[in-house]
Amino acid sequence: MAPGSEGVMMINRINHVAIVVEDLDAALRFWRDALGLPLSKTEENPGEHVDIAFLPLGESEIELLEPTDPDSGIGKYLAKKGQGMHHLCVEVDDIDAVIARLTGHGVEMINETPRVRDEGTRYAFVHPKSAGGVLVELYELPE
d(CA 50, CA 134): 20
Give the residue with the Cβ less far from Zn ion, 89 or 126: 89
CB of 33 to Zn ion, least distance (A): 24
Judged by CB under 5 A, how many residues of this single chain contact Zn ion? 3
Give the residue with the Cβ less far from Zn ion, 28 or 124: 124
- Give the x/- contact pattern for Zn ion in 67-106, rule: CB under 5 A: ----------------------x-----------------
Interacting positions 121-140 with Zn ion (CB under 5 A): 137
d(CA 128, CA 87): 9
- Does position 18 interact with Zn ion (CB under 5 A)? The reply is yes
CB of 89 to Zn ion, least distance (A): 4
- 3-state SS, residue 52: strand
- Does position 61 interact with Zn ion (CB under 5 A)? The reply is no
Strand order in the sheet with 11-20: 41-45, 50-57, 60-67, 11-20, 84-92, 136-140, 122-126, 115-116
CB of 36 to Zn ion, least distance (A): 23
- Does position 50 interact with Zn ion (CB under 5 A)? The reply is no
What stretch of H or E contains 64? Answer: strand 60-67
Measure the CA angle with vertex 14, ends 11 and 19; round to 5°.
145
Footprint on this chain of Zn ion (rule: CB under 5 A): 18, 89, 137
